[in-house]
Amino acid sequence: MTIHDLAARGLHLLDPEDAHGVTIAGLKAGLGPVDHAVEDAILRTRLAGMTVTNCVGLAAGFDKNAEVPGPMLHAGFGFVECGTVTPLPQAGNPRPRLFRLGEDRGVINRMGFNNAGLDAFAANLRRRRAPGPVGANIGANKESADRIGDYVTGLKRLWGLSDYFTVNISSPNTPGLRALQTKAALEELLGRLAEARRDLRQIGADNRFDYPVFLKVAPDLADGEVETIVETVAAFGLDGIIVSNTTISRPESLQSSHRAEAGGLSGPPLMDLSTQVLRRFHQANDRDLVLIGAGGIASGADALAKIRAGARAVQLYSAMVFEGPGLIARVKRDLADRLRAEGFATVDAAVGTG
């Protein structure tokens, strides 16, 4: 256990949201960990044209305003996703809105897309210096009269500043947002984004100026919705799908006194559900879409389970609340060891084998 892991545990003496604020401030002050190890080549992959030195990424939600992508890359992540960011700043839902489920190693949040808005986000991205892919997770303001327009605004405003984009229509904490996953709404959303993306491509020579765009989905999908989403995402030229966001379901195994709090559940209690849904997306994916697995990863074994279910890369966040930032290096080492033990020469060779 590193000194940074001990510090993370010490932060449990604070309210969860206050502890997170202290963490961001510490990272901005240069107090974060640095992973000096040479990246293991077995974890190297490509995501829709992006080369990542390792397939373990930081999920959205940790760095809402793109304040610390550099420190998180230095900590060992292969790619970092910032946000969710909305066009206008918004305070989010009333506090308390973030809960640690200690007995379950899980987290429930109902943050409500609290963020400083696109202008602040863009300014922070302009200042970043650390090498490595940094993505922007874009969303809609709660009171927006045109939520689909908000996504178009986010894409346009951050074009050229972000290495990839994630369209977040799956947070359970903005009322009505998940309705954008239905076929008609999704077609309108992705159609308007595709049109904006075509216009933005013209900025570059020979129309090659482009960035990957992913859709982030909920794990709480009914029968038939997975196939519809895959078909629609492919039809409108998106590059892949991130599976999944938090869940509104509550496993009976939860022990924490916070288990009944409203919001999205993440961490290990989400692992099985999100992996099952990921496997459904892989089975439906006959369009060569990139799948990224998120939800519940706390070990190399968890990461490998996502990869074998169909993910080309994985993302984690909630487990660091309990394990500290040293978890990043441990997951990478464990994943590399397990890949070799199972006879895989690369992480790509393991995709969809389980």
Tell me the catalytic residues: 171
Give the single-character DSSP code of 204: S
Alpha carbon 181 to its chain's center: 17
| Whole-number Å distance between alpha carbons of 349 and 8 | 35
107 strand-pairing partners: 100, 266
Give the pairing type, strands 264-266 and 106-109: antiparallel
68-86 burial: b if 16+ Cβ within 10 Å, else e: bbbbbbbbbbbbbbbbbbb
3-state secondary structure of 122: helix
- Which of 40, 3, 4 minimizes the C-alpha distance to 334? 40
Q: Which two tokens stand for residue 74?
A: 């230095």
The identity of residue 14, as a single letter, is: L
- Which of 283, 284, 285, 303 minimizes the C-alpha distance to 293? 303
> Phi and psi (nearest 5°) for 343?
90, 15
Helix (H) or strand (E) holding 259: none
With beta carbons less than 8 A apart as the criterion, state whether 270 and 320 touch.
no
Give the single-character DSSP code of 94: P
Q: DSSP string of 36-74?
A: -SPPPGGG-EEETTEEESSSEEEPTTSSTTSS-HHHHHH
| Whole-number Å distance between alpha carbons of 142 and 126 | 26
Q: Tell me the C-alpha to C-alpha distance, in Å, between residue 167 and each of 26, 80, 209, 230, 254.
A: 29, 15, 19, 14, 30
90 strand-pairing partners: 115
